[in-house]
Amino acid sequence: MDLWVITREAVLDAIAECDRVGRERFLEEYGFDPARRYFLYYEGFYYDSKAIVGVAHRQVTGRALTADQFSGGRQTVGRLLERLGFEVVIDGAASPRQRLIGLLGTLRAAGTAGGPARHQPITLLWALGRAARHRPRLVSWRDAHPELRDLMRQYGQPSSRPTPEFPVLALAHTDIWELQGFTGTIPRAHGNPAPWLDEQNPYCGLASWVYELVASDESVREEAVASLGGRFFDGSVPGALLAAVGLRQVERAVAAASRVSGPLEVYRRLCSTVEAAEARGDHDRTSRSVREQPVRSSTAVRAVLVRSGGHCENPLCAGQPDDVDKDGEPILEVDHVQDRGKWGRDHPIQMIALCPNCHAVKTRGRTREQVRVLLLSEARARHIAWTADA
């Protein structure tokens, strides 16, 4: 079987289909078993490499390959995907928790007279505090700069200058951190990169998968803080620094709430209900009022609201209203990023909770098309983070 006719574009189309219908449905529809050893790693997520290649074949030839028509080993699927510029991971994917702690353990910091520089850990602790308090994931450089500079001045190594531009750019070259809203290439963290940041004013913050992981799981947050403390702060992060970034007081509140609510378990149960309804074909039904339109799942809406924790999920939200509705609930709209009226999937993986301002931008704003792309990626990353085994 000739796999070499498959193109990079065909593989990307297969990845998009897998995202759209979900992994289980994708594998079941095309008759593939879950991957055991070889995974395609793309934009922070893992895919079943053999299934993706089999479906990609259809994009080129009009016919998908079945699992028994080709080998999924290193010499076939692995070589093809690498030739097309994709990364193939062997022996399975680490859990999100393992991946995060592993990445924190590989951070490279300059040496100072007092020990390793603390610019990167301080920047990450600041971002962890934002996640713990469900503050917007991404912050403009102009807003982040003075906060980080003050923290570095107070808690950095005595011989280090407070220069937030270096950790913000250094972390952007890892899978932990993200920059959005700039043109050109991200400069390296040396020399004088501050003018680039001042001119571009990009948004910066934790990658979406990291944000969701640490925002939703206190134990992961504690492990991340302990890892940073052990490497950069002589054993543990100072309590005053934890308080300054909003972590100490939040830890107690989240611990008490988690014993009662269990939002991760609720979200996963609701998603399972949604997917069972999809398998029955319920989401292909229509309702008729003035016109015929696809039904919308109230279970999927509830799942998204649980995931949001009462906060707007737009990572660039400029400010959610403080007011609540008549029932005392946050004022949020649950929106299908890919319009349900046009048969977009009725599933939390492509649904997002938005405050009235962000909902208006997404539906009527001048930048709505760019916002839709960002929100689709955000919803997908949040869903995967909430349903992955930590």
Stated pTM of the model:
0.66
Task: Looking at the structure, tell me whether residues 294 and 154 fall in a common domain.
Answer: no
Return the pLDDT at 290: 45
Task: Looking at the structure, tell me whether residues 118 and 140 fall in a common domain.
Answer: yes
H or E element in which residue 88 lies: strand 87-90
Q: Is residue 1 part of a domain?
A: no
Phi first, then psi: what are they for 75, rounded to 5°?
-75, -15
Show pLDDT as tens, one digit a residue, over the chain (390 residues).
678 899 999 999 999 888 877 787 889 899 998 888 888 888 767 889 999 999 999 988 999 999 888 887 778 898 999 999 998 887 655 678 888 888 898 888 888 777 889 999 999 999 999 999 889 999 999 999 999 999 999 999 988 899 999 999 999 999 899 999 999 999 988 889 999 999 999 999 999 889 988 988 888 898 899 889 888 988 889 989 999 999 875 444 434 444 444 677 788 878 887 877 777 776 665 545 445 556 677 888 888 998 998 899 999 888 887 777 877 788 899 999 887 777 778 888 889 999 999 999 998 989 889 899 899 989 988 888 787 765
The answer to whether residues 337 and 375 touch, using CB atoms and an 8 Å cutoff, is yes
DSSP state of 330: B
Question: Rounded CA gap, 255 and 162, in Å?
Answer: 33
Q: Is residue 202 part of a domain?
A: yes
Domain range holding 318?
262-387
| Number of compact structural domains in the chain | 3
Task: Looking at the structure, tell me whether residues 274 and 357 fall in a common domain.
Answer: yes
| Short-list 259, 328, 344, 263, CA closest to 302 | 263
Return the pLDDT at 289: 45
Return the pLDDT at 258: 40
Task: Looking at the structure, tell me whether residues 230 and 101 fall in a common domain.
Answer: yes
Return the pLDDT at 250: 44
Q: Is residue 31 part of a domain?
A: yes
Phi first, then psi: what are they for 162, rounded to 5°?
-75, 90
Task: Looking at the structure, tell me whether residues 208 and 239 fall in a common domain.
Answer: yes
